[in-house]
Chain A
Amino acid sequence: MKGYKMRLNFRHSLALTAVVCAGLSAATAAEAKTFKWANSGDVSSMDPYARQETFLLTFTQNIYDPLIRRDKDLKLEPALATKWGQTDPTTWFFDIRPGVKFHDGTPFTADDVVFSLNRANGPGSNMGSNFVSVKEIKKVGDQRVEVTTKYPDPLLADKWAAIVMMSKAWAEKNNAVNSADMTKNEENFATRNAMGTGPFMLKERRAGEKTILVNNPNWWDKPTHNLTEVIFTPVANPATRIAALKAGDIDMTYEVPPADTESLKKEANVKVLEGPETRVVFLGFDQERPELLESNIKGKNPFKDKKVREAIHRSIDVEAIKRTVMRGQSFPTDLMVAPGINGYTKELDKRPALLKPEEARKMIIDAGYPEGFETGMDCPNDRYVNDEKICQAVVAMLAKIGVKVNLRAQTRNLYFAKILRKADLSPGETSFYMLGWSPAQTYDVHNVFESLIQTPNKATKKGQFNAGGYSNPALDKLADAMEQETDKAKRDAMIKDATKLYVDDFAYVPLHQQAVVWAARKNIDLVQLADNTFPLRFVTVK
């Protein structure tokens, strides 16, 4: 009797459990919004300071929040800091948002801010270049962190929009106080695990296979997304990515190859998103050596002559490159920075009229090269969209004006090693080259001046990526002044003057901004940002 009763109870409770379970799963099924997306490569690490690279930064910012983040128009807005500013030219303050909790429930404090900033500036981190001006970071009170700089640095907040906040206690507990040290054979906990304050929590990380994030229900901000789960998979082959999108196995793919864009647009369930990227692709000349490394002209360097640079500049038809090589997916420009970057001067972005081949040829003859001249050219073949094809087009265009270009297009690891300046800032081994640049650190034109246009100088560390050694002392002076100028009107005037200088010198041949092309299923709403970042907090699934 007793046994029977028990069995009955057991059966009852089983049934009850089943009902409850069914109810629960029905409820979650109705709300569950899984978003599956793919990219050609995996995120290289979960450590947000492991590499200063757009994809890693944008991915880890789903899990970790910065003090200040960028909104849909790339403008700064408060995140973990509610207020920030300068109390005097060399002191910055950041007020910490109260009541924020990490994914493990521990509170986010000013100590975590100091810890994170020091970790980002510490050994193993790749974020050090954001801290060049920093003298000291200290906590003043529970809700405020103060930073003193060696010199006035008006761009500190812009730079630090890329630095996310980690938990001091978590890092100390897991022996991840520093980022992974490449010279030791040691596993670093933060390479595979992540614990921040961000909108999503890391559920599973299988490097090279898939990474699963889930919604953080206790996020401090009001979510603008409706995702409960996000599955990211690297799919290297573009054709497979496109097929997976068509088949509905993924909801979105980042970076669509230009050749597939047209066919995708015809697909009923897929939409293609296109926009200009902040990176500018340009050509540069060796204007430094008295004699070019790869040329038939001995004893002088034709690229030192402004007339020669002008003839080349005005013979490269960027509209033709856009039409034929880029299939319409480029945005030609004549400046070294793109719209959307602070300091882009629209009225100066005017390409001088194209020359007829005989006019350009005459300019080259007048410059003292009656037979024209030969030059080598370096180009990557796996770095920018259609990089090698663009260079081939340039070779053909310059052949018409008597400049014979010997193109060497190779994989980026060989190409960068060849063209970049050496550790002592002696010039790279190139005569004529293609390069792309986006001031992704500050979103400000000064980064472009300091890296690409200022005279290379070992002491001041300016002109690191000025591979051809263009040099204009007046521009150097303006660039140094704008770095520390806090008055916006004065600074804008300096930017305009400096821009005019390099444009008039034909220092570089800016070509275009390449298009960012993403594709998604029709039921996905997302925001495409010009810096090619992809925050999941802007994604909704209908």
Chain B
Amino acid sequence: MLAFILRRILQSIAVLVAVGLVSFSLFRYVGDPINAMVGQDTTMEEREQLREKLGLNDAAPIQFLRFIGNAARGNFGLSYRTSEPVGRLILERVPATLELSFCAAVFVLFVGVPMGVYTGLYPRHWSSRLLQAVSLIGISLPTFLIGILLILVFAVMLHWLPSFGRGETVRIGWWTTNFLTWSGLKALILPAITLGLFQLTLIMRLVRSEMLEVMRTDYIKFARARGLTNRAINFGHALKNTLVPVITVAGLQLGSLIAFAVVTETVFAWPGVGQLFIQSVQFSDIPVMAAYLLLIGLFFVLINLIVDLLYFAVDPRLRSQGGSARVAGH
């Protein structure tokens, strides 16, 4: 078990370095940040001096090594756009993104899994078919359109919920939270639904098909023959056996929720890291983009590690085979 975790951590570091390398080779195509940094009347000579000072004239590998070296010491430099330390800029926005992604994930799991179980148990019932049809919206409409539609209905027409922003937040140490104020909670609803809708559909359909499959197996028939209650069969036997693929997908989807919060955050002016990233791309703010991509890489690596550990908890076969077993089909 310990060896497994250690190996995973070593792999993670390699993944992060690779992410850094790929992002750095891409940065050459985002354009020259200098012209966005200076005023209209700055002379060409002064622009060149600044370019030289920031090391933008160095070859990409040298810039990359410098970045990795500084990053390893926790120093991400100053943002070209705001001249603030990048580490702090990102840290300040992480709570907003994590809280939003968390709410979206809760929405996905607590609505998506029951919907999947229901449609799996009663596949021919009219309400299952309705749920199936409605859930297509989540897959077929683009996120920004869903967001704007929700804003139009609930903010502009009904005036129930705010159209953008985080509302009032409470500061606890360096973390700012939405969960402690009424306006903060209200502000979470629309973005969380927008962000989660796609994943909701995915999880619902996954659970449904897994349930359909499991319900056909022999041990369910035997369980029925033993006279177990429906509840014990459906949740104790059937649902539990669908969980391994569901956890894998849900874990990866949580990573996507964080990474793809970019669109939702832009639509709702949600002050998270995704919005910061979009602003940075427009400005060719290389230090912020690099740090953001590393952070997202780190999230994915961590989530994958947790998912791997969860298999041990859910699937007793893995525990008996010993710590280093790999999950088939992973």
Contacts and interface: CB of A to CB of B under 8 A. Distances in A.
B123 interface: no
Contacts of A179: 83
A417 B148 contact: no
Interface stretch (B162-170, B233-241, B243-251, B291-299): B162-170
Contact of A187 (B80, B84, B279): B84
B47 interface: yes
Contact of A209 (B84, B159, B166, B266): B166
Given A182-B53, A240-B151, A413-B33, A207 B279 contact: no
Interface string B268-284: 11010001101100111
B62 interface: no
B218 interface: no
A441 B152 contact: no
A18 B81 CA distance: 48
B38 interface: yes
B148 A243 contact: yes
B84 A237 contact: no
| Residue among B152, B165, B283 having the largest count of chain A Cβ atoms under 10 Å | B165
A208 B95 CA distance: 14
Contact of B156 (A207, A246, A413, A437): A246
Contacts of B82: 42, 44-45, 191, 207
Interface stretch (A143-151, A354-362, A387-395, A420-428): A420-428
B58 interface: no
Nearest to A451: B41
| Residue among B84, B85, B92 having the largest count of chain A Cβ atoms under 10 Å | B84
Contacts of A24: none
Interface of A: 38, 41-42, 44-45, 47, 50-53, 126-129, 179-180, 182-188, 191-192, 206-210, 233-237, 239-240, 243-244, 246-249, 382, 411-417, 420-425, 437-438, 440-441, 447, 451, 461, 464
Contacts of B76: 185
A273 B212 CA distance: 60
A53 B83 contact: no
Interface in B125-169: 144, 147-148, 151-152, 155-156, 159, 162-166
A113 to B, nearest CB: 22
Interface string B33-67: 10111111111111111100110000000000000
Contacts of A191: 82-84
Contacts of A239: 148, 267
Given A180-B83, A413-B30, 10 more contacts: A186-B78, A188-B83, A208-B275, A209-B271, A236-B278, A237-B144, A244-B164, A414-B29, A420-B35, A422-B44
Given A249-B162, A411-B31, A464 B83 contact: no
A447 B49 CA distance: 23
Given A129-B42, A413-B33, A413-B35, A206 B271 contact: yes
Given A52-B41, A207-B82, A249 B155 contact: yes
B89 interface: yes
Nearest to A127: B39
Contacts of B151: 240, 243, 247
Contacts of B99: none
| Residue among B44, B46, B88, B279 having the largest count of chain A Cβ atoms under 10 Å | B44
**6 closest pairs, A vs B, by CB?**
A52-B39, A413-B31, A423-B48, A417-B32, A209-B271, A416-B35
